[in-house]
């Protein structure tokens, strides 16, 4: 078992790297970023958990929804291949909606593995209290398949409310390795493509004008570790870099109050019962 002192040394190095790389550090993204659908099947009928992620910036699909620190509590309950997840965003930084939850997401996922192919259709509803922003909803389909030492994955999303028919797709590879019995490492490289309707709705300038072009929007790289100091209780630091790759999109984002590049970090404290 990795000593606690050694883990915190690794964590400190990760955080210092982010601080020196950029003063105000996505997905996660969700996972991402921040809004993850990754909780796996278990031998138990019911599994559950919760975590609280402290993140230097809220970034979703390359779009920054805050300029500074946020807190993102979430919780989930899974049974019979279904998973219900509630995810929230609480603004810590001195900016709009500080001290309030400005987003609450509800996601219902069904996961089935056929041989080595994992399929996860889902319905996600995004609500934005205190902001006046209309509810947004998507149908999602995630799939992954192991190839050699990595896992190839894709996440496909189509809006069913808010920007009906808007499409966003992500493709990439994930590398995961158990370093010690209670410590695992994950690396992710992903690429995002969005329809003109998605970009027009979500990437908007101060005058309310959106960037209405279809493009390969985004490249994302994420490094994370997950450490269990005791059974069921974990710490999950991560560093994520995301960048808009299309030239005119980068210019539009920079001129409309968004960041064309996002480097951000965070640490989650959580528990799971599997």
pLDDT over 90 (residue 14): no
Q: In the chain, pLDDT over 70 holds for what percent of residues? A: 84
Q: Residue 38 gets which letter from DSSP?
A: -
Question: Which of these, 251, 193, 238, lies nearest to 219 by C-alpha position?
Answer: 193
* Count of residues making up the chain: 274
pLDDT-derived band at 257, boundaries 50, 70, 90: confident
How many whole angstroms separate alpha carbon 187 and alpha carbon 85?
Answer: 23
> How is residue 50 written in tokens?
């919760």
Average pLDDT for 256-266: 93
Identify the residue with better confidence: 135 or 38.
Answer: 135
Q: What pLDDT was estimated at residue 32?
A: 37
pLDDT classification of 18: cutoffs 50, 70, 90: very low
Which pLDDT value is given to residue 6? 41
Instruction: Provide the pLDDT confidence category of residue 260 given band limits of 50, 70 and 90.
Output: very high
The CATH architecture assigned to 4-273 reads Beta Barrel (2.40)
Total-model pTM: 0.83
* Residue-wise pLDDT tens digits, 143-158: 999 999 999 999 999 9
Half-sphere exposure of 48 (CA within 13 A, CB side): 4
Mean pLDDT of 62-75: 96
C-alpha–C-alpha distance, residues 175 and 181, integer Å: 17
The answer to whether residues 196 and 214 touch, using CB atoms and an 8 Å cutoff, is: yes
pLDDT band (50, 70, 90) for residue 36: very low
- Structure confidence at residue 35 (pLDDT): 42
Give the residue among 225, 238, 232 at the shortest CA–CA distance from 178: 225
Q: Residue 125: which pLDDT band, with cuts at 50, 70 and 90?
A: very high
271, pLDDT greater than 90: yes
Distance CA 42, CA 45 (A): 7
pLDDT, residue 183, reads: 97
Please report the pLDDT score of residue 40 as a whole number.
44
Per-residue pLDDT tens over the stretch 183-217:
999 999 999 999 999 999 999 987 788 999 998 88
Q: Is residue 8 within a helix (H) or strand (E), and if so which, with residue range?
A: helix 4-21
- Provide the pLDDT confidence category of residue 44 given band limits of 50, 70 and 90: low
């Amino acid at each position: 078992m990795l000593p606690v002192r050694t883990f915190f040394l690794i964590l400190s190095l990760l955080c210092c790297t982010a601080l020196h790389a950029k003063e105000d550090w996505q997905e996660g993204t969700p996972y991402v970023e921040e809004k993850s659908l990754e909780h796996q099947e278990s031998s138990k009928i019911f599994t559950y958990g919760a975590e609280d992620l402290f993140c230097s910036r809220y970034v979703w699909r390359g779009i920054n929804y805050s300029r500074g620190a946020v807190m993102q509590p979430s919780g989930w309950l899974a049974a019979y291949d279904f998973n219900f997840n509630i995810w929230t965003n609480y603004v810590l930084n001195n900016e709009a909606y500080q001290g309030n939850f400005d987003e609450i997401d509800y996601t219902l996922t069904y996961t089935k593995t056929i041989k080595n192919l994992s399929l996860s259709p889902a319905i996600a509803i995004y609500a934005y209290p205190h902001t006046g922003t209309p509810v947004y909803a998507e149908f999602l389909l995630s799939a992954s398949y192991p190839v050699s030492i990595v896992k190839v994955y894709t996440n496909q999303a189509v809006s069913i409310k808010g920007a009906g028919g808007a499409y966003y797709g992500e493709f990439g590879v994930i590398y995961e390795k158990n370093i010690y019995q209670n410590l695992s490492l994950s690396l992710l490289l992903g690429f995002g493509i969005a329809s003109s309707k998605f970009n027009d709705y979500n990437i908007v300038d101060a005058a309310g004008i959106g960037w209405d072009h279809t493009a390969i929007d985004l490249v994302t790289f994420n490094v994370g570790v997950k450490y269990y100091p005791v059974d069921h209780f974990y710490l999950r630091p991560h560093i994520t870099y995301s960048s808009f790759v299309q030239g005119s999109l980068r210019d539009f984002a920079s001129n409309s109050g968004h960041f064309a590049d996002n480097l951000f970090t965070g640490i989650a404290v959580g528990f799971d019962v599997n």
